[in-house]
Amino acid sequence: MATIVDARGLSCPQPVILARNAIKAARFPIEVMVDSVTSRENVRRMAEKQGVQVVVQQSGDGFKLVLSR
């Protein structure tokens, strides 16, 4: 079962911090929901620097980033 991080409506750096905490807990896969391009790119860059694979999907009016090892 995926860990869900709902960061919609939050401004940076909050989505990045929530996603990083989920990565540290190592409960993969992790689905991070964001609603801005800036948050999407910041979370993606942080995750890739941590060695995590990222798949970005359009989800309604926002984005879902699926993080996996």
Predicted local distance difference test score (pLDDT) of residue 29: 97
CATH number, domain of 49, equals 3.30.110.40
- Over residues 8-66, the pLDDT tens digits come to 999 989 999 999 999 999 889 999 999 999 999 999 999 999 999 999 999 888 999 99
Pick from 33, 30, 34: nearest CA to 3: 30
* Overall number of domains in the chain: 1
CB-CB contact of 43 with 32 (8 Å): yes
What span, in angstroms and rounded, lies between the C-alpha atoms of 24 and 29?
Answer: 12
Residue with tokens 């919609």: 8
Name the pTM for this structure.
Answer: 0.94
Q: Is 16 helix (H, G, I), strand (E, B) or coil?
A: helix
Supply the range of the domain harboring residue 24.
Answer: 3-68
What span, in angstroms and rounded, lies between the C-alpha atoms of 60 and 35?
Answer: 9
Predicted local distance difference test score (pLDDT) of residue 27: 87
